[in-house]
Structure 1
C-alpha cells in the first residue's frame, strides 16, 4: 500500500515563556493558591496538582492553564495577570523560556542520595476510603473493585475489557496476555511486590532480557541506580502498565494489563532525554529485535533526532506499537511523540476534562487519564528486597501515565486478537499494518472528551479499551501506510 500524501508541515518546537510563582511554604497556603486557580478555570479542565519549579517553593503555571485564564478580558495584560497571581497567593512571579525550563526539568524535582530538591507537588487530592482486600490471583475473572477511576467506565474502560477476557472460555485459567512483551524505555527497574517481585525474582519484570544503556556494556543489569533526576520513574510507570496488588490500605491496585511481561531498558536518569536520544534510539531497535510487541516511552526531548526517527520507522515496519507521551507543562508536544508512526498520548482528568498541564495540538493522537492517578511507591532497597506500598493518595499526574494506559491497552488488544493471528492476517501487506490497525481502531472507538466540539487539540477522544477490543479488524491491504517518522506531519496517521 502506498504512503498517502500528508497535508500539513511538521513544525519544530518554538521557544516561549513560562510563568513561575513562589508560594508560601505551608501546605495550606499552597493548596489555597491551587484552588484559586481551579476556581478561575471552572469546568474548562482538570488540574489537581501543580508541578514544582526550579527551586524551593517555586511552582510552574502550565502554559495551557495560563492561556485559558488569560483569555479573560481582565487578565490579558501581563501586569493584570501577575497582579491576579499575587492576589491568589503568589509571593513573586517570574518567567522562564520554555527551553530553559526543559533544562531545569531534566535535573528533576525529586530528592536522591541526600541532594536537595525543590518542593513536592501541590495537590488537592484526598486520601481514598479503605476497603476490604480481594483476591491475590492475577486473572481477569478474579479482579474485583473498587477500581480506580481511570480504569473503569469513568476513564479508559479497561474493567469492561477485562470482563471480555473473563467471559471468553479460551482465556480460562491463564493470563490472557501471557506472551505479550512490553519494552519499557525509562530509568530502569526497582523491585516491588506489585510487579511480581519475590526473593529477588519477578514473574512480571524480566531485566535479564533488557539492557542498561546508561552505564554501558560493563553493567548488564538495567536496575534504576536512584540517580538525582527522576529516580523510580521506570518502576512507577511499569506499575501503571503491569501492576497488581490486592493487599493495600484502601483498595486493590491494578495496572492496565496486570502481570504482562515488562522488559526494562535503562536509558536515562531523567524524563527529559535530549542528552540520551541515541540511547533511546538504540533501545527501540533492541526492543524490536528482542521480541517486544509494544514499546512504552514515557519520556520526551525538546529537539528531534534522525536516529530516533529511524528507530521509530524500524519498529513500525516490524509491526511493533510504540506509544509516546505528548509532554506536560509546556503546550508543545515533544519528541519522539512529535513524529509520525507512533501513538502520541495527551491527557485527561476525571469527567474526561482536558488535563490542564498536558501538551496538546495536532500531534496528539488520542488521550488517556493523566490526573488523579494512584501509583506504586518505588524505593531504593537492597537487591532481593521488594517495596510493598502504594501511595495513599491518587495524586499522580502526567502524560507518562496516559502513555502507560495506552501501552497496557495495546497489550490487551494484541492478546485479544492473538499476536500470531495478527501477524498472519497482515503478512502479505506488511507487519506495519498491525500498528496502523491498532491506531486506527483506537481513534475510531475513542470516547468523546469533554472539550469543544470540533477541537483537534486532543486527538480523537479518550481511549476506550472495551470498545477497541470489540471493533472488527481492518482487512489486509485496506490500510494507508503512514509517512516516515521524520517526514512532514501526516494528519491521517
Structure 2
C-alpha cells in the first residue's frame, strides 16, 4: 500500500494558564481519591519522543526506542511527545509543575516521527513493540485523513491482546481522521477548557467515543530553550487525558477488556449540548465516575454470592446485603492510600474497598464496616485508630422504622462490657428502649441458648444465630449456582459479637412481636419466632440506619451506580 503520513494533532497556542483546568473539568481529583495509577502499569506514548530529563517526568520514562534513527534514544526534538507525556503521567505531589492524569504509572517512549510527521508503517511497528514490552495503554496523538490497512491491523492486534489504543480525533472540523476512526480505538474529540462545548477545531466527521478538554491544556513542555510548562491545544492533548484515565481504570480493575473500558467511558460521560451533535460522541469525560465504576464490579462479585440467588428467585430467604445499593460514594479513611475509600450502602450493611490496587482474590479485599460499633458508641471511624465524636444512634435496632418499643443502638451503650452467661443458659434476659435489662421466664419456651464464647470480645453467640452463621445455602459462584456455606469465614459479614443476646418487644409489620436481638461489630441479628421459615433470623437494616445517622434520610431507590447494575452493563 502507499506510504501514508500521519501528523500530530497540535494546535499551537502560547497563552499560559496558572492551573490545570483540564483536570478539574474532567473530575480527575475524584478519581485520584481512589488511585493515581499503579507503578507497574505502562502507557506507551507513540509520538515524537519524550524529554526524559524534564523535572516533572524524571524517573518515569522507561527505556524506549527511536524508529526514525533506529537507536535506543527516543529524545524529543519537537516537544509534542513531551507535552502528551506530561498530561498522562507528570509527577504529582513534588511541589513543582503539574500532576498527570495517572501520575504513578510509567511511560514507554516510542519515537515514530518529528516535525514532518510519522509514517503509518513506523507507527504500526511501534504498536507491536509496545504490546511486546507490556504496555497496557497506547496513546496515539496523531492522525491523517487517509486510512492505512497496515496500521489498522496493528490496532486490531492490540485489541486482541486487550491493550487499549486511544487516538486523537483530529483538528479539522470537516475532515475524517485515522486511526481514530477505526472501530477498535477509543476515539477522543476536543472540548473547550471548561467542557461546555466542542472545540471549534475538533473533527465533526471522525468517529468519536467521547471528548475531553483540548484548549489551553497546561502540561510539560520541551524546546531548544529547555524544559518548562505551558499550554497547548489540539485533540493531541485531549487524547492523553483519556489515556491517563484508562490507566487509572486498569489500575483498579486490571481485567477490563477494551470494550468494557469503552462502555465505562461512554456510559459515564456527561452529555455535551446540543444533543446528538456530530463529533461529541457520548459527551465529556468524567474520570471520577469512570474510575469509580471500573471498581464497582468488585463489590458486585461480593454481593452476588449470597444475594443473587435471592434476587433471581432461586431461593426464598432473607437478604444478606439487600436488593441493591442505594448510595455509592467515597468516604475519608486515613489509612487508605489516597485518604479515601469507595463505599456502597445496602439495606443491611456498607461495603468498602480501602485499597483499590490490592489483589482482589482475597476474602478481605471488599470489607463491610464496623457500623454497629459506631452506632452504639457514637464514634465515626475515619481511620484504623481515628474517630470523630458523634452521639449514639437513637434509631430502633429491630422492627419497623417507626417502632417505639424496642431498643435503639444507644440502648446498648452500657451493655458492651456485660459478662457472658454460662454456656447453654436459656436466654430469657430482656432489654427495653431505655436500655434497662430484665428477665421474662415466658421466653424460655423459645428454647434459645447461650452458645459458643467468642474470646476476642468475651461474648457468647445465641444458638439461633450460631446456627445461622454456620448454615448452608444456595450460592452464586463460578458463573452458576452451588450449595455452600453462607458465611465464609463465619464472622465475615457480622464481625464478632459486642453484646449478649436480649429479648425485646418490637413492632414488626405493624404487630407487636417477641424479637431476640444481638449486636455484632458489623451487623445486628434478629430472631422473630413468629416470622415464616427463612425470615426468622434476619440481618437488621444497619446500612439504612447508619446512613440515616451519618448523612440523613437514605434514598429508597437503587443508586445509579449500584454495583450489580454496573457489572451487568459491562457484560
Question: TM-score band, normalised by the shorter chain?
Answer: 0.5 to 0.7
2:265 alignment counterpart:
442
Contact 2:51 2:82 survives alignment (8 Å) = yes
Aligned: 1:375 with 2:208: no
Aligned to 1:364: 208
Q: How does 1:450-469 map to 2 (within 5 A)?
A: 451-469=273-291
Q: Which residue of structure 2 lines up, in the alignment, with residue 182 of structure 1? A: 43
Deviation of residue 403 (structure 1)?
0.6
TM normalised by structure 1 equals 0.55
User: Superposed, which structure 2 residues align to 1:272-311 within 5 Å?
Assistant: 272-273=117-118, 276-311=119-154
Indicate the residue corresponding to 1:266 in structure 2.
111
Given that 2:44 and 2:138 are in contact with CA atoms closer than 8 Å, whether structure 1 keeps it comes out as yes
Give 1:286 deviation, angstroms. Answer: 1.1
1:254 is paired with a residue of what secondary structure? Answer: coil
The whole-number CA distance in structure 2 between the counterparts of 1:107 and 1:397 is 11
Larger mean Cα displacement after TM superposition, 468-477 or 407-416: 468-477
1:414–1:127 CA distance, 2 compared to 1 (3 A): closer
Higher deviation after alignment, 307-316 or 464-473: 464-473
Question: Secondary structure of 1:159's match?
Answer: helix
Closer/same/farther in 2, CA of residues 106 and 295 from structure 1, 3 Å limit = closer
CA contact (8 A) 1:108 1:270 kept: no
SS in structure 1 at match of 2:43: strand
- The reply on whether 1:158 has 2:5 as its aligned counterpart is no
- Partner SS for 2:33: helix
Relative contact order, CA 8 A, sep 6+: which one is greater?
Answer: 1
| Structure 1 position 108, deviation (Å) | 11
What's the CA shift for 1:149? Answer: 1.4
Contact 1:272 1:300 in 2 (8 A): no
Partner of 2:79: 232
Within 2, Cα distance between the matches of 1:434 and 1:271? 34
State how far apart, in whole Å, the 2-side matches of 1:356 and 1:239 are: 24
Q: Which digits, 9 at most, give the CA deviation of each residue in 1:57-104, with x for residues without a partner?
A: xxxxxxxxxxxxxxxxxxxxxxxxxxxxxxxxxxxxxxxxxxxxx98x
Shift of 1:288: 0.8
**Alpha-carbon distance between aligned partners in 1 of 2:130 and 2:90, rounded to the nearest angstrom:** 21
Distance 1:379 1:463, change over 3 A: same
Change in CA separation of 1:106 and 1:339 when aligned onto 2, cut-off 3 Å: closer
8 Å contact kept, 2:189–2:235: yes
2:99 maps to 254
Among 42, 53, 68, the residue aligned to 1:214? 68
Aligned-pair CA distance for 1:247 = 7.1
Q: In structure 1, how many angstroms separate the alpha carbons of the residues matched to 2:146 and 2:205?
A: 17
Aligned residue in 2 for 1:27: none
Confirm or deny: 8 A CA contact 2:190 2:234 kept in the other structure: yes
C-alpha RMSD over aligned residues? 2.9
What residue in structure 1 maps to residue 75 of structure 2? 223
Give the CA deviation at 1:150: 1.0
> How many angstroms apart in 2 are the aligned matches of 1:206 and 1:247?
20
Change (3 A) 1:184 1:243: same
- Asked whether the equivalents of residues 246 and 252 of structure 1 are also in contact (C-alpha less than 8 Å), the reply is no
Gapped runs of 5+ residues in structure 1? 1-101, 110-119, 129-146, 166-174, 198-202, 382-386, 423-432, 478-493
Between the aligned partners of 1:212 and 1:281, the Cα distance in structure 2 is 14
Higher strand share: 2
The answer on whether the counterparts of 1:272 and 1:301 sit within 8 Å (CA) in structure 2 is no
Aligned partners of 2:170 and 2:206 also within 8 Å: no
Instruction: Give the paired residue count.
Output: 295
Among residues 149, 154, 159, which one is paired with 2:21 in the alignment?
149
Query: Normalized per residue, which structure has more helix?
Result: 1
Deviation at 1:253, TM superposition (A): 1.1
Partner of 1:16: none
1:242 paired to 2:96: no
Give the Cα separation in 2 of the matches to 1:356 and 1:156.
19
CA offset digits 1:321-352 (Å, max 9, x no partner) = 00000110342231111111000100101332
Contact conserved, 2:194 with 2:213, CA < 8 A, in 1?
Answer: no
**Number of the residue aligned with 1:193:** 54
Q: 2:242 aligns with which of 389, 400, 406?
A: 406
Give yes or no for contact 1:178–1:261 (8 Å, CA) kept in 2: yes
Contact kept in structure 2, 1:361 and 1:458, CA below 8 Å: no
Partners of 2:136 and 2:94 lie apart in 1 by 30
Distance in 2 between residues matched to 1:107 and 1:414, nearest whole Å: 26
Whole-Å Cα distance in 1 between the matches of residues 241 and 116 of structure 2?
17
Residues in 1 aligned to 2:158 and 2:276: alpha-carbon distance in whole angstroms: 32
Instruction: Give unmatched runs, 5+ long, in structure 2.
Output: 302-477, 480-571
Matched ranges for 1:16-165 at <5 A: 121=12, 125=15, 127-128=17-18, 148-152=20-24, 155-165=25-35
Are the equivalent residues in 2 in contact too, given 1:190–1:379 (CA < 8 A)?
no
Inter-CA distance 190–319: structure 2 relative to 1 (3 Å threshold): same
Distance in structure 1 (CA, Å) of the matches to 2:167 and 2:51: 22
Contact 2:145 2:175 in 1 (8 A): no
Deviation at 1:222, TM superposition (A): 1.7
Give me the whole-angstrom Cα distance separating, in 2, the residues matched to 1:464 and 1:442. 8
- Rounded to whole Å, the distance in 1 between the matches of 2:266 and 2:8 is 35
